[in-house]
Each structure stands twice: as structure tokens, then as C-alpha cells.
Amino acid sequence: MTKVKKVLVIGGGHNGLICATYLANVGFDVQVLEARDKVGGGAASRCFAEGYTSPSLSIAGYGINKKICKDLNLKFSSNTSQHRKDTIALDSQGNHLTLSDGSVSGKSLSQSDIDAYRAFQLEFRSYAKALQPLMMNKPPRLKDMDRQDKKTLAKLGWSLRFGLGTKSMREFLRVGGINIYDVLNETFDSPLLKGALSADAVIGQHMGPRTPNTVLTYLHRLWGEVHSGNDDKANDQIAHVLERSSLDAGVRILSDSKVKNIVLEESRCTGVELVSGEKILADIVISNTDAKTTFLELVGSRHLDAMFCHRVNSVRQRGSVAKLNFALDGLPSIKGLSEEQLAQRLIIASDMRYVEHAFNHAKYGEYSSHPVLEMSIPSIADASLAPDGKHVMSVSATFAPHTLKQGWEAQRDAFTEVVVETLGRYAEDFSSLVLHSELLTPEDIEAQYNVSGGHWHHGELSLDQSFMMRPVHGSAQYDTPIDGLYLCGAGTHPGGGLTGVPGHNAAQRIIDISKSSN
Amino acid sequence: MKNYDAIIVGAGHNGLTNGAFLAKAGLDVLVLEKNTYIGGATASLELHKDWKYSNCSYVCSLFRPEIYQALDLGRHGLEVVPLQGSVSFKQDGDYLGSYHQPTLWRREVARHSKRDADAAVRFDADLMKWCRLIRGFLLRTPPDPASFKIRDAMEFAYLLKRFYSLSESQIYEFIRFFTMSIAEYLEQYFESDIILAHFSGGSIIGTGLGVYSPGTAYVLLHHAMGDVDGNVGSWGFARGGMGSVSAAIGSSFKSFGGEIRTGAEVKNIVVKGRKATGVLLASGEEISAKTVVSNLDAKRTFLSLMKAKDLPQDLIKRAENFKIRGSSGKVNIALDGMPDFPALPKGSPLTLGHMHFTDTLERLERAYDDWKDDKWSKDPYVDMVIPTQYDPTMSPPGKHMMSVFVQYCPVEPEGGWTDEKRDAFGATVIDQIGDYSPNFKDLILHAEIRTPRELEAEVGLTEGNIFQGELTLDQLMFNRPFPGYAQYRGPVKNMYMCSSSNHPGGGVMGAPGANSAREILRDLGRTDTTPEDFGDD
């Protein structure tokens, strides 16, 4: 019998936990090192004022991938209704639109838009499904492919050619590389509908609706939604459920253990050194942090090839979303919205020009004067998040670039004010309800969650940073130029969101490599 | 009544090129032109009394040398004079000069940043690598990814083989180059603002994109892949203006027995029994032909030249959605003398090349933001040349002609174009030049300002788009102009397309015309007269 391999996972975010659990399940001895006081990373809850808790950093519309839920037997105590949260695009006059799975409704919508939306969702969801073989495996190399790579490419080719059929494949090849602006203009009339859909394509990215590549980011989001294994109302439990399942699998979790550097011996990774000075040895080290942190900070550029470092250094991951948590004295009243509707995911993006203008500022190191907002009031479904009668509102504000020209320190209050004002245009009583507020700029997210740039996806989801080029080529198949060191974070293929697929793929890869080397 | 072998609608350079190869193969060909002159957007006209100018396209480089040789254009009077370098002026009074002489160029870059001087060598080498690779695809018909035909599979195999001549790392770098924005691509190499701005300009010319839009790195290549006398990436002036290019192709065409009729506007392509049988002129005259080729852009071809009843429904929708937004304007100026540029040393050769006045990426991007809101750029990017420094045939002795290409200019500003708005747009450009040349405004004898409105009205470029269709991934290669129609064959039998709306797109290249001729001759079972690409040189 071969010796049990000892594995260290740096970072207990959801991808790290998933990767750890898979490995522990097949007999590895796995330890997760978490810098913060609890695991879960961006998926963990956060107490931002006494008695008020925000469930997580992101307001994702989808959860952990189905296959992972099944493999790891993840159990969510899902509440009442099974259907996904709706997205409600707010209109200042009260003519809101409700976007549910595959259909849209709203007083102001024309029948042709309603029909077009159904057809559009069907078509785009079929593209998202067709990409599945590529997403659930390591991205194939384009030269010197191994058997797995060839299989992935063949499956992808088959699913595009025969899964989609001639007409849809042609259409997919046409729109796949362009911007969502042109596609939505071709398809719909309603400015609010177009605004909401384009917001979905750009939130979390440094892109505007007119930026080519936004069809891809929209597909990425749909892909997460289509294959989501848990009701998104259960998203708040993700951190907890994953921690439970990893502990059950025998993973040991060490919190408050920030890693200082990765220890190398003759260009092989042999363990890590903690900030506390403690050294932990291991056969395999897996980094759940982004590529920049892993290679440039934890490993150190002197151990790496110059061109490789240059590529890592060039990865674009300037975060552009700020998170705001509000403690509210009561529910805000938005014209034309019932309490049940208030519990859904709300979006402020009145039209595509609004979103594009919001993005214009980000290009020049300014925050949007009229930001795109994504909101939820989780305390409606879960009263334990706030004291009786009070509420918690989570807001993602786009665009708030990581690096402001004048620096964030002097601009924090001004930006919070901008967000409150924007909300006030839809809920007149909003500002009077605010008891506490917390602003997490990308700079704060970088510092507190250990993600360079504070980028949701640990790197822009652009074509040049996707698939076999994610995070950079030379390290896109989860292994790295350093023996024994692997990546499993959102910065790897297929990117961020709550899917957990990077952690899944990385675990598969490590298991395959260990098998072949035994 | 005479039945031609082929009729070509539109005597732009692609129509003439197409006609020349068909005539060379022995077909009886007629080219019909609406205007009284040939060349379309490649013509030399009178700007002012005794001043000639190139009406739209103004410099020459992309024209395929294979076509030049196959049609013997040198003998038909085409002479291209290489252009010397370029210069970008800075707001602080400094400038960046681009010289052909490598040591001079290196020293100049180092003046702004030593690090960038090293990076420039790497950048040039990389760009050249992509140029060579992409040039091999220009004179080929794009394969259809949805087809099961052997020919398409073979073509894919050929492309893959070319692709696989690169190393693995180069393959990824190539994909990245294709999908990145020029600004982000260049930021991997350079640090100095002026150098970033200098290199980026070329990649937004004619597009509806900004320097930070993914896909613009490719557009840079689209402009850089041409050559003059085998010098890849260099530009040149056609002696006598760009009209000399179409005049030479026209002359070559006639020498093979082709016939041109100007002032003959085509109203419709006549379709009988799902076959094109000829054309109907605006005058009411009908001319029949065995083959009809449209050199108009995809929108005009399918939405006005052909009748809806002759077309499949989905094609009409595609044509309506075809993206052809214009984004450029042009100011042509007759000058009483040579303007001074005090930033440059006396006698500097840099005025001989392209001149630019934008020194940061932010200014370039802000110019784009204006366009997105249907305004002309308050601080536009201009590409300015004074060809009369080389070519005395275009103006009286001692006088000059200046051609100013302006990015961006909207298809239609709010409320539509008026003559006042057009002049205000022109004034923005003239003011910008005036900021760098104190005597410039006094030298202006006549200025002709053209917005997309004028470009559309005169030469029939829909919405004033100089490429006859935007160069974005949904409209490139097998998607150009529409998926399933990228092999130059129209939706009805005996009808073909040869304009820049087809692969490989705009620029005075001649490649769409030649590629289309190859497909026509193939269908007719005639000898192929079109040239193969020279391959790697």
C-alpha cells in the first residue's frame, strides 16, 4: 500500500472546501488553512453591526453545481417554495419587470418582447448547456493533448455540432464573441428589460454592455444557473453546509492560519510557512487564492520563469463591485412592490445607456455617479439576521473600481451617499430607514478576503483569460510550473461564481495525476 | 439583346478586381457604376480648382501584392510611394516620432522610456509574427464550420496546419491577441502614455469600438498587415491619389476585354425562377447576364438591390441586423502652403508621415464615449497626412493638400445632421490641428468636411462605414457577412457578392473581389485566374 498523501489547501473559500472534500473522500490526508476566523470566504456570513448579519458577500442568482451537490451529498434545508428567486428590474414609475426562469412579465411589456424573451432564454440556455463538457473538465491544451483533453474537445465538438444543430451552432459562433448590447438590441424593445439583462452580463466584470465579450459573461452566468444544484434561497447556507461536509469527510480545518509563503525545495513544493512562523510539511499544496497572490506573493517570482511571471502580473483582476450592507429600521416601500416581491433579487438598471454610463466612470478611476445596483433583503426570509422588526439589505454596487484616482479613503462616505440616493429614487423612505451601513470597496475585499484586486472572479472572465488561458497559460490545468503545487480557486477555469466547479476540476486533476504517478 | 457572362454592380476597387479576373478567364464582363467616375471610395477627384484629392481612402498598403502582380497594375500606371514614418504630438509640446530607420526609432522611444525601447523590439517581432500568419488567410475562401463538404474540411485542415506551425505558447498568445483590447494588449509591453497612444490609434480607425474594447488588437493587425514593396506594415501613397488604384485596375480590366458603364445606376437584380438573370437599371433598361455580382455592402445588396420576395426570410433579418455603423469623418483641406509644426525640429522628416494629436489612452477612450452617445468627439483622434509633399501632381506648385481622417463621428447626431452641425464637427478638427500649428488656419483655402452622411450619399457606403460592415468577431471570417453566406455565393443561383462586406473585409485590399472571382470561376468550371497567396515571405 502506498503512503497516504498529505495535502494542504490554502484558503477555505467554497472552492477550497470542495476540493478538500473530494480529496479526503478518496483517502488523502487533507488540512485546510484559513486566514480568517472562519471558513467560507465570500460565501460566509458577516456580522456588520450588532445584531445584523449579512449572509454572504455576493448576491448570486445560482448555487453549487448539481454534480457536486450529488457527489458530496450536500444537504440544504431548503425552505418552502422550490422555485428560484425572481429578479425584479425596478422602474421608477412602478412598472417593474419580473424575470423568472425563462419568462418575463410586466405591465409595460409588449407581447413580442415576452415571446422574444422566452425564445432568447431557450436559445441561450441551450448554448450554456452545450458548453458543459468544456466546463466540467480541465481545459484542454491545444497542443500535446492527453487523452482526457482529446475526449473533452471531441465531446465539446459533438455537443456544439449535434447537440445544438446547424442553425443554433451558427448563431452561437456568431454571437459568442461579441457584446450583449448588440444582441439585446436585435432581440428586444423594452429599455428596462435590456437594461436588466445587460446588467446581469456586466456585474462583477470591468465591462460595459457595449464591451465585446459580454455575451460570454452572460453565458457564464446562465451556465451557473442552469446547472445549479441548490435552490438559490439556500445560498446563505452554502458556507455552513460545505464546512460540515468537509469535516465529515475527515478534512481538518485550521482557521486564523494565514500562510506567509509556500516552501520550496529544489523547485518542488514541500509545504507552507504560516505567518506565525509555523512550518507545515505536505506532499501536495493547493492554493485557493488567485494566481497573483499564489505566484507573486506566496511562491515569489525568483522561483519562476520570467515570462510566466510577466503573464501572471498581467492578469486583469481589478474588482469593480462594492458591497454595501444596510441595517434598516423597517422594510423600504417601493411603489408597486409587495413584501413577497421585496424578498426577491432586485436590480436597478433602467436601460443599457444607464449601465454603459455607469461603466464609463470606472474606465477613468471614478465610481459611477449613477451606479447599477443589485439588492436583496435576506431578513425577510430569515428573521434571525436582524432584530425583530428590523431588516438587513445587501447591495452590490457597480461600478466602484478597485483603484480610485483620488483614493477610496476620502471617497467612502460620498459613494455610500450616491448609493443611498440612487435607492431613494425608487424607495422614497429609504434614507430615513438606514440605521447602520457598511461599505466594502474592492480595496476592502482585497484586504479582508485576500483576493488581489478584490475581483469577484479572481480575474476578468474575458476570452483572453478563459479556458486554456485561465488564469494564464502554463498553469491552466490546475497544476503549476512548480511540482506539487496546484490551483483550485475562482481564478482557474471555469471561473468564479458559487458553482464550486474550479474546486471540483482541480480535485479530479490531482487525483488523476496521483494515480498515474503511483 | 446582348447576354453578358457577368454583370458587376458597382465599380469600386473590389468590383473592378472581380471583373478583371473574370475577364482574364475569358468571360464577357460588364461593370455598372452609378457615379460618373469609377473607383467608388477609391477615387481621385477635384477638391478645389487645380487641387486633386483622394475622396475617401487616402493611403495604400493593404492592397494584396499578389493581385498587383496578377493584374500587372504597374504596367497600368499604379505607382505606390512609401510613406515615411509617423508622429504623435504631446500636449506638453513634445512629440514621439516613428522613423523607419531602426536605430533612430529606438533612440526616439528611449527618449520617452528606456524600458519601452526594449519592449518595442519585442512588440514589433510579435506583431510581425501575427501579420505573417493572418496574411495567409486573406486570399482564401473561409470554410463553413457547419458544412460536411470535403472542401470545407480540407480548408479547416489547412488552417489548422498553419496554426499548428506555432508553438503551444504562441498559439495561446495568438488567441489572446485576437480577443484582447489594444490598450490592454499594449499595456503588457509598454508603460509610457505617448507610446501606448501612438500604437493604439490604428486599431480604432473605422470601428465602433474604443481602445479598451476587446477585439481592437485584431483591428490593429488589419491595418498593419499590408505592405509596400514587401515591407510588411508600411504604408504608401498612390501617385495621383487613390484614384490611380482603381484607374489601374480598370485599365487592366479593359485590357482583358471588359466593359465599364458609368452613370448607370442599378435598381434591382432581376431574379427569375430562383436564378439571377440580369439587372434592371434606374433608367428602366434591363440588361441580362448569366451571372450577377454585387459589389454593394450586404445591407444595400439584400435590402434594396434584391427584392424581399426573392430572398429567404431569415436572410432579410440578418441583413437588417448587419452591423455597419459608421464612426469616422473626413476633412480634406486645400492649403496655400506648408503648415509649421513648432514642436518638431526644423526640417524634420516627420511631417512626411501620419500625424496624430492624441497622447493618452484616456483621451482616445473618451473620444469613443462621445460616439457611444451619438455625438462627435470633442477631442477626436485624427490621422492626418499631407501627400503633396511627395506627389506634386495633386496641387499647384508650392501649395498643399491635407487629408484628415477623423475618429469618431456619429452616423447621426441627435436630431440628425445639418450643414451647421457638419461645419461644427469640422471646426473641432481644424481647431485641434490649429493648436499644434499656429499658421495652419491662415493657410486654409478650402476645406471639405464629410460626415457619415456625406460618405453614404456620395459613394454609397451605408451609414458611412468604411469597411462596409464592422470588423467584430460576429462579422469576420465564416461569419462575414452572415453565417452560411461567407463563401461569396448569394441566396439565389448565379448571384454572388464581392464587396468588403465579405471576407476578409474592408481596406483597399482587393481580396474580396479576387476571392469572389475564384468562387465564380470554380462554379462555371473555368480556369482559375486568381492568384494564390505568396505564402510566408
When pLDDT is cut at 50, 70 and 90, the band that residue A30 belongs to is: very high
Domain limits at B517?
3-80+239-323+467-524
Q: Mutual orientation of helices A352-363 and A180-187 as an angle, nearest 10°?
A: 170
Please give the distance of CA B211 from its chain centroid, rounded to a whole number. Answer: 19
What value does the mean pLDDT of chain A take? 93
Q: Is A337 within the bounds of a domain?
A: yes
Task: Quick: pLDDT tens for B289-302.
Answer: 999 999 999 999 99
Q: What is the band of A469 on the pLDDT scale with cuts at 50, 70, 90?
A: very high
Cβ contact, residue pair B472, A169, below 8 Å: no
The C-alpha angle with vertex B164 and arms to B159 and B167, in degrees rounded to 5, equals: 145
Q: Among B179, B323, B364, which would you mutate to test the A interface (most chain A Cβ atoms within 10 Å of its Cβ)? A: B179
Nearest Cα of chain A lies from the Cα of B179 at a distance, in angstroms, of: 6
Per-residue model confidence (pLDDT) at position B83: 82
Residues A325 and A432 in one domain: yes
**Could you give the percent of chain A with pLDDT greater than 70?**
97
Residue A229 lies in a domain: no
Within a domain: residue B28? yes
User: Contacts of residue A171 in chain B, CB cutoff 8 Å?
Assistant: 483
pLDDT over 90 at A231, yes or no: no
**C-alpha–C-alpha distance, residues B352 and A228, integer Å:** 61
Angle between helical axes of A14-25 and A238-248 (0-180°, round to 10): 20
For residue A328, the cross-strand partners are A391, A434
pLDDT of B537 over the 60 cut:
no
Please list every residue in chain B whose beta carbon sits closer than 8 Å to the beta carbon of residue A470.
none
The three-state secondary structure class of B268 is strand
Contact B42, B13 (CB under 8 A): yes
Task: Report whether A64 contacts A245 (CB < 8 A).
Answer: no
Q: Could you give the number of structural domains in chain A?
A: 3
Residue B462, in any domain of the structure: no
Residue B467: closest CA among B238, B231, B297: B297
Contact of A449 with A234, CB cutoff 8 Å: no
CA distance B328 to B330: 7
Q: Report chain B residues whose CB lies below 8 A from the CB of A175.
A: 474
Task: Decide if B323 touches A, using CB distance below 8 A.
Answer: yes
Q: Which residues of B touch A142 (CB under 8 A)?
A: 168, 171-172
A382 and A432 part of one domain: yes
Neighbours of A105 (CB within 10 A): 13
DSSP 8-state secondary structure symbol assigned to residue A40: B
Nearest CA in chain B to A173: B474
DSSP character string of A200-235 = HHHTTSS--TTSTTHHHHHHHHHHHHHTB-S-GGGG
Average the pLDDT over B413-432 and give the result: 97
What confidence score (pLDDT) does residue B228 get? 64
Average pLDDT over residues B339-356: 94
% of chain A residues with pLDDT over 90 = 86
Is residue B169 one of the residues assigned to a domain? no
Question: Does residue B164 sit at the A interface (CB-CB below 8 Å)?
Answer: yes
Res B181: pLDDT: 95
Q: Which of B496, B455, B21, B472 minimizes the C-alpha distance to B298? A: B496
pLDDT digits over A93-104, tens only? 999 999 988 899
Closest CB to B365: pick one of A144, A169, A363.
A363
- Residues A133, A194, single domain; the answer is yes
CATH number of the domain encompassing residue A280: 3.50.50.60
Judged by DSSP in three states, B52 sits in strand
Domain co-membership, A211 together with A168: yes
Residues A268 and A281 in one domain: yes
- Residue listed under C-alpha cell 509596400: B228
Count of other CB atoms within 10 angstroms of residue A486:
26
Contact B57, B44 (CB under 8 A): no
Is pLDDT larger for residue B495 or for residue A238? B495
pLDDT at residue number B110: 97
Instruction: Give residue A1's pLDDT band: very low, low, confident or very high (50, 70, 90).
Output: very low
Domain presence at residue B249: yes
Find the closest chain A residue to B484 by CA distance.
Answer: A170
Answer whether A212 sits within 8 Å of B213, measured CB to CB. Answer: yes
pLDDT in tens, A321-333: 999 999 999 999 9
- At B398 the pLDDT is 93
Residue holding cell 466593359?
A: B259
> What are the residues facing B232 on neighbouring strands?
B227
- HSE-up (13 A, CA, CB side) for residue A440: 27
Ranges of H-type helices in A227-332: 238-248, 291, 306-314
Q: Which residue has the cell 487629408?
A: B403
In a domain, B341, yes or no: no
What the block records as the C-alpha cell of A34 is 484559513
CB of A170 within 8 Å of a chain B CB? The answer is yes
What is the per-residue pLDDT for A80? 44
Do the Cβ atoms of A385 and A378 come closer than 8 Å? Answer: yes
A341 and A248 within one domain: no
Same domain, A243 and A209: no
Asked if residue A228 is part of any domain, the answer here is no
Nearest to B515 by CA among B494, B495, B486: B486
Residue of B nearest to A468 (CA): B172
Q: Does B313 touch chain A (CB under 8 A)?
A: no
Task: Please indicate if any CB of chain B lies within 8 Å of the CB of A473.
Answer: yes
Is the pLDDT reported for residue B420 higher than 60? yes
In Å, how far are A111, A447, A485, B325, B521 from B517, measured between CA atoms? 46, 62, 56, 28, 6
Closest residue on chain B to A359 (Cα): B369
**What pLDDT shows up at residue B219?**
86
pLDDT at position A78: 61
Residue A304 shares a structural domain with residue A337: no
Domain count within chain B: 1
Burial bucket for residue B111 (CB in 10 Å: 0-12, 13-18, 19+): middle
Q: What is the pLDDT of residue A62?
A: 79
Around Cβ B79, how many Cβ atoms within 10 Å? 14
Residue A259: the pLDDT is 97
Mean pLDDT of the B254-268 span: 97
Query: How many residues are present in chain B?
Result: 537
Q: Mutation test of the interface with chain B: which of A184, A463, A466, choosing the one with the most B Cβ atoms within 10 A? A: A463
Going by C-alpha positions, the residue among B452, B482, B474, B477 that lies closest to residue B464 is B452
Inside any domain, residue A415: yes
| CB-based contacts of B232, cutoff 8 Å, min separation 6 | B128, B131, B132, B135, B224, B225, B226, B537
Give the domain range for residue A138. 112-222
Query: Is residue B368 assigned to a domain?
Result: no
In chain B the first and final C-alpha atoms are separated, in Å, by: 49
Is there a single domain that holds both residue A327 and residue A426? yes
pLDDT in tens, B329-338: 999 999 999 9
pLDDT in tens, B41-64: 999 999 888 999 998 888 887 888
Using H for helix, E for strand and C for coil, what is the string for B468-522? CCCCCHHHCHHHCCCCCCCCCECCCECEEECCCCCCCCCCCCCHHHHHHHHHHHH
pLDDT tens digits along B381-401: 999 999 999 898 999 999 999
The ipTM (two decimal places) reads 0.93
Enumerate residues 366 to 385 of chain B having a beta carbon within 8 A of any beta carbon in chain A: 366, 369, 372-373
pLDDT at A84 over 80: no
Least confident of A226-230, A304-308, B249-253: A226-230
The whole-angstrom separation of Cα B112 and Cα B102 is 16
Partner-chain residue, chosen from A161, A360, A473, that has the shortest CB–CB distance to B172:
A473
The residue of B178, B377, B474 whose CB has the most chain A CBs within 10 angstroms, and thus the best one to mutate to test that interface, is B474
Interval B213-244: pLDDT, tens: 999 998 888 777 776 666 666 788 899 999 99
CA distance readout (Å), A403 to A292, A444, A490, B204: 17, 11, 21, 26
pTM of the complete model: 0.95
Residue B210 falls inside a structural domain = no
Nearest to B333 by CA among B440, B422, B246: B440
Q: What is the pLDDT of residues A112-160, one digit of tens each?
A: 999 999 999 999 999 999 999 999 999 999 998 999 999 999 999 999 9
A123 touches chain B (CB under 8 A): no
Given this model, what pLDDT does residue B536 score?
53
Contact assessment for residue B131 and residue B221, using Cβ atoms and an 8 Å cutoff? yes
Q: Residue A210: CB partners within 8 Å, gap ≥ 6?
A: A179, A181, A352, A356, B213, B372
> CB-based contact (8 Å) between A210 and chain B?
yes
Distance CA A489, CA B88 (A): 43
For residue A29, pLDDT over 70 is answered with yes
Residues B149-197 have pLDDT tens digits of 999 999 999 999 988 899 999 999 999 998 999 999 999 999 999 999 9
Cell of A68: 457536486
In a domain, B478, yes or no: yes
The span from the CA of A334 to the CA of A426, in Å, is: 6
**Is the pLDDT at B507 greater than 90, yes or no?**
no
CATH code: domain of residue B473: 3.50.50.60
Q: Which of A161, A212, A464 sits opposite B176 (nearest CB)?
A: A464
For A314-352, the DSSP string reads: H------EEEEEEEESS----TT--HHHHTSEEEE--SH
